[in-house]
Structure 1
Amino acid sequence: MSYIVRSVSVAAAALCVLGTVAVAETRITYKSAKAGSSYYQMAVEISEAMKAGSDGEISVTVEESQGSVQNVMEVRARGGDYVFTTPPALIGLAQGGRAMFEGRESPAFDDIRALFPIPSLTMHFVMSADSGVETFEDMAGKTILLGSGSFGAREGAKYIEMFGLADSVQVADSELSNAVSALKNGQIDGFVTAGSYPAPNVIEAAASTGVSVLSLSDAQVEESGRTRLVIPAGTYAGQTEDIVTTSLPVVAYTTTKMDDDTAYQLTRTYWETKAQMAGMSRWWDGVSTEMLSTITSEIHPGARRYYEEIGAPLNDAHM
């Protein structure tokens, strides 16, 4: 009788172990951006790609965010399952207790580690074909829509001032959501937008109205203090040449609380499914391992292991 009991107990224990293996998965919380934004859509695409690429072993829950600063601040209270996106510059500010992080310092910021780059915020200066504008100098006397409150609006205003156009460009008082229709109706000559390329509103404007997306000179790029980025010819309808513009890199981060194997698995799955994601949204075509150079702080050891395996370019700041 005791033999039977022992056998049943062993069998039950084995079933428990098998059940545990069957449901084992890595659960990740991915803090992104506002719902409805392109970066929130990217987060959803990453979530779906992680599940498919790992055969269900990685489960990513996407959380809406009010912005990159909030994403960084939450590091203080999050665990090893937390992944968030932010420009690399904010990591340096947080770790140095500068700017918006002054008086809000935390040792947790020193534990932030990079995983992989995602599409950059890319500046687009979009002018209607009818405006005849081909250079920044040609914008004098034109009406430009910047929108308000966004990175693109602030950056656009900065460039207009920087390139000596503040007194000659009329800024339209309207939201960016109205840009394409205002361009079609001739109410504005152009608009400024920042987003991963190809940007949906620029695609729409180029296809329906005909536009010219301005290129910056190397001197203008240097003066801006931003990262140089090239939008390849053919990205937008009627675009026959490469467009040189500026960008704000964006990277997915975690902390040292995440174990090395999980960071490795996330990073490998991301790069191995990037081509599939590009089949859904073309902005993934703009991401390459060359963009690791935009990461200015340490990369998580698990992610670094993957990059070393594939021979990706790393530098001293990543170690």
Structure 2
Amino acid sequence: MRTRTLPTVLAGAAAAALVLSGCAGGGGDSGEGGGDAGTEFITMATGGNSGVYYQVGAGMSQLLSDELGSDSTVQATGASVENVTLLNDGDAEIAFAMADATDQALKGEGPFEEKVESLPAIANLYEQYLQVITLEDKGIDSIEDLKGKRVSVGDVNSGVELNARTVIDAYGMTYDDFTADYLPYAEAIDQMKNGQVDAAFVTSGLPNSAVTDLATTHDVKVVPFEGDGLNTLLEYEFFGEGTVPKDTYDSKEDAATVTIPNLLLASPELSEDAVYDITKTIFDNLDQVHATHNAAKDITLENAPHVVVTELHPGAKRYFDEAGTS
């Protein structure tokens, strides 16, 4: 049993967890295609505490605690890239990650200097929307209008920043075309309120709570993705077409954008039985998951097995096979 160094946000009593996990449907047993770790201790790597990952993850973590007796914790992180690293280093059992970060990790590209050998998925969750947020009075009507502006691109090497680099490249630009600030959502929005940031990349489900907060005091504009840049983005297997409706943040117009799947990843150290129990707990209680955030309502049993860029963990596949959805 490894030593825990991550902060506990939602946790059950350790002694009770050890007793109850023995009745968790085999979660502590080994299984083919996985490691031998059970469900006694589960750290779930999410994202910033103002983001959707954190809110949905907190609900899932509580479910695992309630239903499996796990000592389950939810960890606020820099999201996708950090989450993959935590998972690979054995510091998390479950992690949220976008498909592009997962793809780069498996290929050893971008921020990942070495290939990550295995990132099995528990499920495909919901679509993230790539949003470039600005204010109506900033004069930013297109991605190209970011030139010469001060733009938040997310935390360094976060999933948001990976998205930002991909978008900027698709439009034939680089970070040299504007002043890039590496800020998490909440700080980026605060800087926008203070007039110190002109636009911010935000990749999340709809709505993003930090942007919703901004919309209570300012006229928010979502910059549309259009033209050749949009067509270039849609050539990636993990991007799809999407729209941010104008009523999301009380904007004047709908904004075309691209979407990217969120994956719930499992540590290869988890046994098949453990991942089966985790998957069953989440998808047998989808009503509770849906209640965590509006974006989570798009998580469905039918869509969950259809992952991209990686494979389902054998334990998750067993559950979806039994459910008749794989």
State the Cα deviation string for residues 281-315 of structure 1 (Å, max 9, x = none).
Answer: 22312434435433333323332233234443x4x
Which secondary structure does the structure 2 equivalent of 1:123 belong to? strand
Q: Which residue of 2 aligns with 1:305?
A: 318
Match of 2:85 among 65, 70, 75: 70
| Matching residue's letter, 2:297 | D
Asked if residue 201 in structure 1 is aligned to residue 213 in structure 2, the reply is no
Q: Which residue of 2 aligns with 1:129?
A: 136
Asked if residue 183 in structure 1 is aligned to residue 192 in structure 2, the reply is yes
Deviation at 1:74, TM superposition (A): 3.0
Which secondary structure does the structure 2 equivalent of 1:251 belong to? strand
Q: Which residue of 1 aligns with 2:164?
A: 156
**Structure 1 residues 226-245: aligned runs within 5 Å:** 226-228=238-240, 230-231=242-243, 233=245, 234-238=247-251, 241=254, 243-245=256-258
| Matching residue's letter, 1:210 | D
Find the aligned partners of 1:98 and 1:157 in 2 and give their Cα distance: 13
Find the aligned partners of 1:117 and 1:178 in 2 and give their Cα distance: 29
Find the aligned partners of 1:286 and 1:293 in 2 and give their Cα distance: 14
Match of 2:64 among 46, 50, 54: 50
Which secondary structure does the structure 1 equivalent of 2:224 belong to? coil
Asked if residue 258 in structure 1 is aligned to residue 257 in structure 2, the reply is no
Equivalent residues of 1:251, 1:295 under 8 A apart: no
Deviation at 1:209, TM superposition (A): 0.8
Paired residues in the alignment total 281
State the Cα deviation string for residues 145-186 of structure 1 (Å, max 9, x = none).
Answer: 335513323532443343145599532657454433443344
Equivalent residues of 2:42, 2:71 under 8 A apart: yes
1:120–1:32 CA distance, 2 compared to 1 (3 A): farther
Deviation at 1:254, TM superposition (A): 3.8
1:218–1:47 CA distance, 2 compared to 1 (3 A): farther
Q: Which residue of 2 aligns with 1:269?
A: 281
Deviation at 1:61, TM superposition (A): 1.7
Q: Which runs of 5+ in 2 are unaligned?
A: 1-18, 25-38
1:254–1:120 CA distance, 2 compared to 1 (3 A): farther
Equivalent residues of 2:150, 2:181 under 8 A apart: no
Which secondary structure does the structure 2 equivalent of 1:208 belong to? coil
Which secondary structure does the structure 2 equivalent of 1:197 belong to? coil
State the Cα deviation string for residues 198-234 of structure 1 (Å, max 9, x = none).
Answer: 2222112223212121232485345233522535534
1:92–1:161 CA distance, 2 compared to 1 (3 A): closer
Find the aligned partners of 2:292 and 2:230 in 1 and give their Cα distance: 31
Asked if residue 83 in structure 1 is aligned to residue 83 in structure 2, the reply is no
Find the aligned partners of 1:280 and 1:41 in 2 and give their Cα distance: 6
Find the aligned partners of 2:131 and 2:21 in 1 and give their Cα distance: 48
1:93–1:178 CA distance, 2 compared to 1 (3 A): closer
Find the aligned partners of 2:98 and 2:196 in 1 and give their Cα distance: 34
Find the aligned partners of 1:155 and 1:22 in 2 and give their Cα distance: 39
Which secondary structure does the structure 2 equivalent of 1:160 belong to? helix
Q: Which runs of 5+ in 1 are unaligned?
A: 1-19, 315-319
Equivalent residues of 2:192, 2:199 under 8 A apart: yes
Equivalent residues of 2:87, 2:266 under 8 A apart: no
Deviation at 1:96, TM superposition (A): 6.2
Q: Which residue of 1 aligns with 2:23?
A: 24
TM-score, normalised to structure 2, is 0.67
State the Cα deviation string for residues 82-108 of structure 1 (Å, max 9, x = none).
Answer: 434444566666666777363x77xxx
Find the aligned partners of 2:252 and 2:277 in 1 and give their Cα distance: 38
Equivalent residues of 1:127, 1:190 under 8 A apart: yes
Q: Which residue of 2 aligns with 1:296?
A: 309
1:216–1:293 CA distance, 2 compared to 1 (3 A): farther
Q: Which has the higher helix share?
A: 1
Does 272-281 or 231-240 show the bigger shift? 231-240
1:186–1:294 CA distance, 2 compared to 1 (3 A): same
Asked if residue 210 in structure 1 is aligned to residue 223 in structure 2, the reply is no
Deviation at 1:195, TM superposition (A): 3.3
| Matching residue's letter, 1:263 | V
Does 281-290 or 239-248 show the bigger shift? 239-248
Q: Which residue of 1 aligns with 2:120?
A: 113
| Matching residue's letter, 1:302 | G
Does 151-160 or 263-272 show the bigger shift? 151-160
Equivalent residues of 1:28, 1:58 under 8 A apart: no
TM-score, normalised to structure 1, is 0.68
Larger Rg: 1
Equivalent residues of 1:259, 1:302 under 8 A apart: yes
1:246–1:217 CA distance, 2 compared to 1 (3 A): farther
| Matching residue's letter, 2:135 | S
Equivalent residues of 2:99, 2:260 under 8 A apart: no
| Matching residue's letter, 2:262 | P
Identity, in percent, stands at 19
